[in-house]
Amino acid sequence: MNPAANLILVGPTGAGKSCIGRRLAEHYGLRLVDLDRAIEQCTGAAIPVIFDCEGEAGFRVRESAALADALSEKGPAKSGMVLAVGAGAVLDQDNRRMMRKGGFVVHLQATPDQQLSRLAHDTTRPLLQREDREAVLQAMAVERGPLYAEMADLAFDTGGLDSGAATKALLKRLDEEWKRMEPA
- Does the annotation flag 31 for ligand binding? no
Residue 19, annotated as binding a ligand: yes
Q: Is 62 marked as a binding-site residue?
A: no
Please tell me whether 125 is known to bind a ligand: yes
Sign for the CA dihedral angle at 18, 20, 23, 28 comes to negative
Q: Is 37 annotated as a binding residue?
A: no
- Is 64 annotated in some ligand binding site? no
Say how many residues make up the chain. Answer: 184
* Residue 113 labeled ligand binder: no
Report how far apart the first and last C-alpha atoms of the chain are (Å, whole number).
15
117 is in an annotated binding site: no
Give the C-alpha separation, 28 to 22, whole Å: 10
Any binding-site annotation on 22? no
18 is in an annotated binding site: yes
Which residue, among 118, 119, 102, 108, has the nearest Cα to 144 in the 3D structure? 108
Q: Are strands 31-34 and 6-10 parallel, antiparallel or unpaired?
A: unpaired
Per the annotation, binding residues for ATP are 14-19, 125
Per the annotation, binding residues for Mg(2+) are 18
Per the annotation, binding residues are 14-19, 36, 60, 125, 144
Per the annotation, binding residues for substrate are 36, 60, 144
